[in-house]
Each structure stands twice: as C-alpha cells, then as structure tokens.
Structure 1
Amino acid sequence: MYRIQAGGVSEDMAKFLLRVSLAILILFHGVSKILGGIGPITGMVAKVGMPPALGYLVFIGEVLAPVLVLVGAWTRPAAFVIAVNMVVAVLLAHTTQFFTLSKTGGWALELQGMYFIVAIAVMLLGGGRFGVGGKWN
C-alpha cells in the first residue's frame, strides 16, 4: 500500500490538489461577479448598514486570493482571505440557512462550509512545492 510521507512528493501532490480545487471553484464565483456585476453584493452590504463600496472587496476574496492560491504564491494568507470571504458571505446572505437542512437532507450550507474548511486546511498546510512559492509557501 502506498503511504503519504511527510515532506514527500505525494504530500505535495495532495496539497496541490486541495489548493487547485479550492482556487478554481472559488474563482468561478469571482468570474461570475466580474461578468455580472456586484450590485447584489453592494446591496447586501448596504442593507446591513455598511458602505456599499466594501462590496468591492469581494474581488479580493473571489478573484485575487484564488489566483494566488492557484499559482501557489502567498498561499497561506490568500487562503486566509478566502476563509474570511466565506464567513462574510454566510453572514451577508445565508444566516437564515445556518441551522437548516437542504431538501436532500444535507446541511443547507455544506458548500460554503466545505469551502471554508478547505481554505483553513490550505492555510495550515501551505501550498507545497508545486507552486511558484516552492516548498516554503
């Protein structure tokens, strides 16, 4: 049986897979906001009494940070930004779903929860050697 060894190529491949899957999936949300605009986001921000301009920070959390995670540059801080972005998204748009189940029986926020947990894992693990930051990223 093949085992993942600490510091080995397979450990770095696992980090790569986590990093790339998180980045690509979050980046889809960012591209959607680039193409469709962020009016709904600025509206939600204004609704909670904050300056609507803060909605533009979504581009950092859903475009810039995922690109950095994808290429493996400043992976840990970028993954932290993605995790914070997910917390803000839940607070702005999904608080009523926090303690609910979906029609199929899963947690209503399982996707957001998965993004958050994977972002925390990437932040703790780092990007691995398969990125522009090398094995110290």
Structure 2
Amino acid sequence: MKFEKDFLRSTDFGLLLLRIALGGLMLFHGMHKLIYGVGFIGDMLAAIGLPSFIAYGSLLAELVASLMIICGIWTRLASVVFAGNMVVAILMAHASEMFSLSPMTGGLVIELPLLYLLGAAVLCLTGGGRFAVTKGTVLD
C-alpha cells in the first residue's frame, strides 16, 4: 500500500509523464518536417535575410531533441534546444499574434507553442528525473 501512495505522488513519475507528453507530441512535428521537408521554414528565414539552411535546426530540435527528452537522455540539454526552437518559432511565426486572444476560445493564440516552451523550461530546471536514461549526470 505504501508503494502505491509513493508511486502516485512521485515527482519522478510526473517528470516521466511530462517528458513523454512534451517529446511525444512534438515528435509529430519533427516527423512531418522529416517527410515533407523544411522548405517553408527556409523561405521564412530567407525573407528576413537569414540563410535557409538554419531551418534544419528546427528538424533536429523537433525530432532528435524530442526523442532525447522522451528517453531521458541529457534531458536538460535537449530541453534547452527544444525551448530555443520554440522561442524562434514563436518569434518567427507568431510575433504578430503574441498578445492576441482567439475569438473562438478566448485563450492566447500562441498558447500551444507557449505550452511547449514552458514545458521545456520545466525540464531545463528539473532534469529528467529518476526514470531517465542518463539520470544523475550534469546534463540531466
């Protein structure tokens, strides 16, 4: 009985759930970029005078960093990359909507990217927890 109470109140289990949710949901975005390419991001970068090859950074962040977060491999480092990707995504794709409210829901228009960013920030601060592959290291 004590084990069940401890397990259900476990911070480490909560961090595992956060890692699976955050990385798992973003993994779909990474897979989409892997299959269909990052051309549209490259076009957005070129429009503001940046080299379009930087778009592959979003692929790495959304695919590789997501997998690292799910598995708990260098969770803090992967979360920094993930959070950085979300800051760039918010600034590039949603800057004009930063403080706008959705007329359909009443919530922030950028609430989904913001939720990804804040989830990654939590993992940057906490690490991956006891159920991470690289638990107890400097980068986790």
TM over 0.5, yes or no? yes
Q: Residue 29 of structure 1: SS of its match in structure 2?
A: helix
Residues of 2 paired with 1:58 and 1:11: CA distance? 30
What is the deviation of 1:135? 4.5
AA partner of residue 77 (structure 1): L
What is the deviation of 1:4? 7.0
What is the deviation of 1:134? 2.7
- In structure 2, the gaps of 5 or more residues are none
Question: What per-residue deviation string (whole Å, max 9, x for no partner) do you get for residues 29-48 of structure 1?
Answer: 10111111111010011111
Identity of aligned residues (%): 40
TM-score, with length taken from structure 2: 0.89
AA partner of residue 111 (structure 1): L
TM-score, with length taken from structure 1: 0.90
Residues of 2 paired with 1:128 and 1:84: CA distance? 21
Question: What per-residue deviation string (whole Å, max 9, x for no partner) do you get for residues 90-131 of structure 1?
Answer: 111111110101121100000011000000001111001112
Q: Residue 134 of structure 1: SS of its match in structure 2?
A: coil
Residues of 2 paired with 1:59 and 1:96: CA distance? 23
Please tell me whether the aligned partners of residues 26 and 62 of structure 1 are also in contact (alpha carbons under 8 angstroms): yes
Which of structure 1's runs of 4+ aligned residues deviate more than 3 A? 2-5
- In structure 1, the gaps of 5 or more residues are none
Please tell me whether the aligned partners of residues 38 and 59 of structure 2 are also in contact (alpha carbons under 8 angstroms): no
Give the RMSD, CA atoms, in angstroms.
2.0
Q: Which residue of 2 aligns with 1:114?
A: 115
Residues of 2 paired with 1:77 and 1:49: CA distance? 28
Aligned residues: 134
What is the deviation of 1:9? 7.3
AA partner of residue 115 (structure 1): Y
